[in-house]
Amino acid sequence: MVSMTTNAGFRAQARAAMAAPRSAAVRRSSPSLVGASESALTTNRKSLYNRNATCRMIGHVDPRPELRSHGPVSCRAASYDYDVCIIGCGVGGHGAALHAVQQGLKTCIIEGHDIGGTCVNRGCVPSKALLAASGRIREMQNEMHLKAMGIQVGSVSFDRQGVADHASQLASNIQGNLKNSLVAIGVDIHVGMAKFVDNHTIAYGLPGRVDVGGQVTAKDVIIATGSVPFVPPGIKIDGKTVFTSDHALKLEWIPEWVAIIGSGYIGLEFSDVYTALGSEVTFIEAVDKIMPGFDNEIARLAQRTLITPRNIDSRTGVLATNVKQGVPGVKPVEIELTDFNTKEVVDVMEVDACLVATGRVPFTQGLSIDKIGAETDRRGFVPVTDKMEVLGKDGKPVPHVYCIGDANGKYMLAHAASAQGISAIENIKGRPHVLNHNSVPAACFTHPEVSFVGLTEEQAREKAEEEKFEVGVVKTSFKANSKALAELEGDGMAKAIFRKDTGEILGVWIIGLHAADLIHEASNAVATNQTIQDLKFNVHAHPTLSEVLDELFKHAEVDPPKQEGAKKSPPAKSAAAAPA
């Protein structure tokens, strides 16, 4: 029998182990435990290896032969170090880890680069810092706009390095916050590039480093490795005159003339930054119009507000088939343009710099998913089910392995990755969950912003043609909104696309002041299966920009349901009158 004093001593040793410093590699147990007898260790296993203690000691195998038979100690199962191992710690991996811990799962993360992934370090976060600074510059340089509000300013200047530092410092701060939030709740962070040994075992390490690495086991594994910029053939990146968004965010110089290959979200946002800082921009787009993924009507208004008034032109229907690097201020960048249809070279442009914004590709190389009977598709994406389960070569889910975010290609947005991570954890917990990707909003943080959820009007009409229903479209303008007029920001509109027979919301698009913040009323309505009639009863503060959507939903008209057969009897007057 072990005395109460011994129990108290073990609890004290456990607390000491919890307070001991930990490395980023595999955690080691407290040396004080090595002296414990096998009897004491067995008797006190439940009290000693509680959830907090295992955060420090999971995976330990006692070196002594007489105790080695106990194997790895886990708070859930003796055969695994962790309940969940997440490969990658971008926004998706971070969101999955938070939800996993909240659900009582012992969790670790393996990250080979930076905590926060692309979004925090080389994407949405630092780009918003550049957009915020350049947006202020643009606003202060608009003398007519300010004069109309009774404001007079002198000449406006900026410090390029100061703007760049603002972006890098923000990324650093957010990265630190994310790491601290994980450590605070007991998530172990292992440093290294991960690869599968089997569907429960992950090995990790860094090239050329013998001091970093190891192997962990987990009941369930989530792949969250994200993506990298896609660079088309014929384009060589030097990071100075020919670069991707990863390099552009450093803002090492401001070219006089920038060609941007691609006019999606990334290209549009950087055109906003560069023109505010004094550059001229030329879009190079393969299809016959810029902003090809936008609703046509929204794209036309964006052309009038984001393109035409600025030093921006475009070359559409052409491919940049060969790009030769230049030297800043000395030698121009040469871009060979080839007709998209005829494949004939039609022109050669000379510009100061070229930003390649042609989308992203999954970062899935080196995972060794063949070890779990799976393979990526021809583009590198990991195929998954609606529940985020990885599909094997036989088309069946690989047990206990999931993939979220850009690596699966379902919807390459940071917040979509986070939502998928939460969905994966729900399925791991045995609560079937499928994310409705049509409810995931998207935004372009230009000035003014563009946001949407669901389908374009063109896509909705194609769907209606196939499924035989009528589409309803309703629109409203920012020019009718008091708050927008007070800001002298009346350029903008919102439109909703819905089924006339049921009121189902098919899509909502907004361009205007703070459009990225306004879209969530619509996206959450889609997520919770509310109809456009339901939204008419929402109350919005006055005067606010949210009233743009208030007016939008109130203008929608849905066809009344058709009466079929005999007239139904009226309902009972009250619940109390109904039979028991």
Enumerate the known binding-site residues for NAD(+).
262-269, 285, 359
Binding residues: 128, 225-227, 262-269, 285, 359, 406, 412-415
Helix (H), strand (E) counts: the chain = 19, 23
CA atoms within 13 A on the CB side of 369: 28
Q: Give one DSSP letter per residue of 283-332, joined into a string.
A: EEESSSSSSTTS-HHHHHHHIIIIITTTTEEEEESEEEEEEE--BTTTB-
Integer distance in angstroms from the first to the last C-alpha of the chain? 61
**β 201-206/193-198 pair status:** antiparallel
Binding residues for FAD: 128, 225-227, 406, 412-415
Task: Tell me 438's DSSP state.
Answer: G
Task: Tell me 538's DSSP state.
Answer: -
Burial 396-412 (b: 16+ CB within 10 A, else e): ebbebbbbbbbbbbbbb
Q: Give the other-Cβ count within 10 Å of 496's Cβ.
A: 25
CB 126 within 8 A of CB 156: no
Residue 258: name the closest of 273, 274, 238 by CA.
274
Determine if the peptide bond prior to 448 is cis (ω within 30°).
yes
Residues comprising the chain, all counted: 580
Residue with tokens 């190389």: 365
Catalytic, out of 113, 166, 190, 542: 542
The yes-or-no answer on residue 542 being catalytic is: yes
Q: Tell me how far apart the alpha carbons of residues 415 and 472 are, in angstroms, rounded to a whole number.
A: 29
- Give the angle subtended at the CA of 511 by the CAs of 507 and 512, to the nearest 5°: 140
Residue 76: name the closest of 180, 220, 249 by CA.
220
**β 257-261/353-356 pair status:** parallel
| Catalytic sites, residue numbers | 542
